[in-house]
């Protein structure tokens, strides 16, 4: 995903995506993916699309104890 943004903006995008993995429950992890996609959508529509398309893969870890 970071290949879709400039180097100067990559850290901000990465930080936004990392917030997904810091959520305490599976439900909030899934909500975080959509929130991050919404946040990035205007400036980085391709990244938002990738996040939404990969949502199941990104959030699979949340189903494990």
Per-residue pLDDT tens for 11-43? 999 999 999 999 999 999 999 999 999 999 999
Tokens 């995903």 found at: 1
* More confident site: 23 or 2: 23
Residue 23's domain comprises 8-63
Q: Do the domain assignments include residue 50?
A: yes
Task: Say how far apart CA 49 and CA 26 lie, in whole Å.
Answer: 21
Per the CB < 8 A criterion, the answer to whether 23 and 32 are in contact is yes
Q: Do the domain assignments include residue 17?
A: yes
Q: Do the domain assignments include residue 16?
A: yes
Q: How many structural domains are present in the chain?
A: 1
Q: Do the domain assignments include residue 2?
A: no
Give the relative orientation of helices 26-41 and 45-53 as an angle to the nearest 10 degrees: 160
Kindly report whether the global pTM for this prediction surpasses the value 0.75: yes
* The predicted structure's pLDDT at residue 43: 95
- Using the Cα atoms of residue 6, residue 8, residue 11 and residue 13 in order, give the sign of their dihedral: negative
Q: Do the domain assignments include residue 3?
A: no
* The predicted structure's pLDDT at residue 1: 82
Q: Do the domain assignments include residue 1?
A: no
Check pLDDT > 90 for residue 64.
no
Distant-in-sequence, close-in-space partners of 2: CB < 8 Å, separation ≥ 6: 10, 13, 14
């Amino acid at each position: 995903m970071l290949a879709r943004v400039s180097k100067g903006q990559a850290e901000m995008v990465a930080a936004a995506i990392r917030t997904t993995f810091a959520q305490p429950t599976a439900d909030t992890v899934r909500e975080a993916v959509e929130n991050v996609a919404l946040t990035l959508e205007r400036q980085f529509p391709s990244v938002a699309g990738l996040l939404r398309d990969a949502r199941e893969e990104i959030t699979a870890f949340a189903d494990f104890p």
